[in-house]
Amino acid sequence: MAKLILLRHGQSLWNAANKFTGWVDVPLSERGRAEATVASCKLRDQGYKIEVCFTSLLIRSIESAIVCLTECDEICGGKIPVIQHNSDDPDWHGWDKYAGNFYQELPIFTAQALDERYYGDLQGLNKAETAKKFGEEKVHEWRRSYSSRPPGGESLEDTKNRVVPYFQTRILDHVKRGRNVLVAAHGNSLRAMIMELDNLKPDEVPGLELATGVPIIYDFDDQGKLLEKTILT
């Protein structure tokens, strides 16, 4: 059976400061790196082996993937993780064109489609102070509803519209080939995937909470049919 493992990045420094982060590229906190380490140990203890990894372009997602894949070498099956950059910048000198070797390396693909939801004008603001200014009900709506957008930002529906096509064409392709895939991403980009995987309706979204650093595993048969879901709490 192929396995799809979803991992919300560990706590970032702005998570710890209770700020809206969105596309601001903030690294993990000490606790966040520890959460990714614990996730690595849980996957190792359950005997999981990863063959392909996907992350967003944001460092907290990439850091979580790297820590998870390298703290316990067993989950890479002896392969070395290699980030597959996608860049048009000539200063890369073609380094980003290295295709890798599936037999010796574990590719980590980075994609803007997997970035966190864009919070627009709220980015950098303290969540508690924002709730006082605009009202708790309005801020809860911006954060948890399906179609409501924060000022200048994306709704979860907008996020889902960019995440799901990439998920269906790039990520599920590896799953259907029988590979175990790790996706280290963000609360909202992963919520979009889970809506698709669990066939959730928009009115079920407000209750969908994802803890940082907790692996969620989906098992698929050799025909690409979803069989079961496990959360490694």
The catalytic position among 51, 116, 154, 174 is 116
DSSP string, 134-188: H-HHHHHHHHH-SSPPPTTS--HHHHHHHHHHHIIIIIHHHHHTT--EEEEE-HH
Residues tagged in the binding site annotation for substrate: 8-15, 21-22, 60, 116-119, 127, 143-144, 187-188
> Among 9, 51, 154, 174, which one carries the catalytic annotation?
9
Q: Is pLDDT larger for residue 57 or for residue 223?
A: 57
pLDDT in tens, 169-200: 999 999 999 999 999 999 999 999 999 999 99
Structure-block tokens of residue 219: 């098992």
* Assigned architecture for domain 2-231: 3-Layer(aba) Sandwich (3.40)
pLDDT of residue 1: 86
Tokens of 38: 């614990």
**Phi, psi (deg, nearest 5) at residue 82:** -135, 125
Residue 228, H or E segment: strand 226-231
- The closest of 37, 43, 87, 46 to 64, measured between CA atoms, is 37
Q: Where are the alpha helices (DSSP H) in the chain?
A: 13-16, 30-45, 59-71, 127-134, 136-144, 156-166, 172-176, 187-197
Token pair for residue 181? Answer: 């895939």
Sheet of strand 105-110: strand arrangement: 80-84, 105-110, 52-55, 181-185, 2-8, 216-220, 226-231
Active site residue 116: yes
Q: Which of 62-66, 86-90, 101-105 has the lowest mean pLDDT?
A: 86-90
Reported as a single tens digit per residue, the pLDDT across 16-61 is 999 999 999 999 999 999 999 999 999 999 999 999 999 999 999 9
For the full predicted model, state whether its pTM sits above 0.85: yes
> 186 an active-site residue?
no
Q: Following CA atoms 32, 110, 20, 29 in sequence, which dihedral angle do they give, to the nearest 10 degrees?
A: 20
